[in-house]
Structure 1
Amino acid sequence: MGDLALLTIVIIAANVIISFKGFNDLSFFHRYKFNVGDIRSGKKYQILTSGFLHADYGHLFVNMLTLYFFANPVLYYLGNLGFVVVYLVSLILGNLSSLYFHKNEWNYTAVGASGAVTGVLYAAILLNPDMMLGLFFIVPIPAYIFGIGYMFYTIYAMRKRQDNIGHDAHFGGAVGGYLATLIIQPWVFKEHLLMVLLLAAPIIVLFWLHREGKL
């Protein structure tokens, strides 16, 4: 957390401007949102564009607030280019995850930067595992405990499918942030090996559940 970097401001501004356009122009919103039927019919651009649209003001605010909290550690260690790579890889892999898990649901739709933001969160934890978070802005907890707990909750929610939240996009985004960070900065393996292994645990569990047909 800290002063907003210029790149973070640019990304937040892009999300705000495009989301507000979608709030006030339904044809624009429907053209660029994630829709399985559209994507499978050739509109692959929705895999990217849907990540800059949001369902409502609250959705937009939560995603941009989370980005604000976790952007600076990633920018510090990876620089502007590395941050953009993590953000876009997480966004795209998050939506590809949604496409995979909902490929036969032609009416399935989604919007939001959650996949990208979750990827940035995972990258920040890998790069700065001693970072502390305020649970409910009050109770201090290590960021890695929050990250791992959140991912296991995501797996639980993916299995239950009892809400309208794109949990599969969150998970895909986390995997994107995890892999992109390790590729860009392989020193993390040596310096934070335990964290690399701990954060891999929910990813391994997800693939195992999928292989066993339990998702």
Structure 2
Amino acid sequence: MGGINISVSLAILVITIIISVLGFNNPTLQAKLLHNPFLANKNKEYYRLLSSGFIHNGLSHLGFNMLTFFFFGGVVEQVYVQNYGDVWGSVIFLGVYLVAIVISDLPTFFKYKDMPAYSSLGASGGVSAIVFASILFQPTNDLFLLLIPIPIPAFILGTVYVIYSYYQSKNSSDNINHSAHLYGAVAGFVISAILIPSSVSDFFVQLSNYRLPF
């Protein structure tokens, strides 16, 4: 990997950690940055659709998102670099991540823009986008879930994830923005397919050649 693409991935990671930690100790800052559809709509504070992706609700929330991003971000960025070159590949990777955060928040913006009490935060939409871009590029790679020492092919895990997120977005009352996970995942997969069309045929070739290990 070149120095540029490594620095972009690390920059996202470091900036998110810094802003999140600052938010832990500064409720006013966190309130200013979180995704509150009512305030975004009333005060035209549309920046919240993006800024909310850089703050988190505690260390476990931050740690899970950033650990996931750490494992997948560099892989996906490298694919963009291979297709667009060091500079543009990294710039496009950054754009995909940021756009996915905004897209993932749009459904809740329209759903809750008249409800002052609703708010959400976290990088889950952007991180889901990067995970699913990775699934597009490498669908048969084995992934491991925490506490489950069994390798699961990426495309199977991705399918289960989408079904779970869709179900939870319709039926959950746990205050987690599951629709952001779902729409972020779809955004990452679709945008990457558009930007790198050859990845679509490669995706199906890899699936057609896949054989279960038992």
| Shared fold per TM-score greater than 0.5 | yes
Whether contact under 8 Å (1:82, 1:184) holds in the other structure is: no
Whether contact under 8 Å (1:91, 1:115) holds in the other structure is: yes
Tell me the alpha carbon deviations over residues 167-215 of structure 1, each in whole angstroms, 9 at most, x when there is no partner: 011111112101210121011222223789xxxxxxxxxxxxxxxxxxx
Q: 1:121 to 1:14 in 2, by over 3 A?
A: same
Which residue type is aligned with residue 131 of structure 2? L
Whether contact under 8 Å (2:136, 2:203) holds in the other structure is: yes
Q: What is the correspondence of 1:61-210 to structure 2 with a 5 Å cutoff?
A: 61-79=63-81, 80-136=90-146, 138-193=149-204
In structure 2, how many angstroms separate the alpha carbons of the residues matched to 1:86 and 1:142? 24
Structure 1 vs Structure 2: percent identity of aligned residues?
33
In structure 2, how many angstroms separate the alpha carbons of the residues matched to 1:13 and 1:120? 17
Instruction: Return 5+ residue gaps in structure 2 as ranges.
Output: 82-89, 208-214
In structure 2, how many angstroms separate the alpha carbons of the residues matched to 1:8 and 1:84? 8
Q: 1:48 to 1:177 in 2, by over 3 A?
A: same
Runs of 4+ residues deviating >4 angstroms? none
Partner of 2:53: 51
Larger Cα-atom Rg: 2
In structure 1, how many angstroms separate the alpha carbons of the residues matched to 2:205 and 2:124? 26
- TM-fit CA distance, 1:53: 0.6
Which residue type is aligned with residue 135 of structure 1? L
Aligned CA-pair RMSD = 1.8
- TM-fit CA distance, 1:6: 2.2
Q: 1:101 to 1:145 in 2, by over 3 A?
A: farther
Partner of 2:38: 37
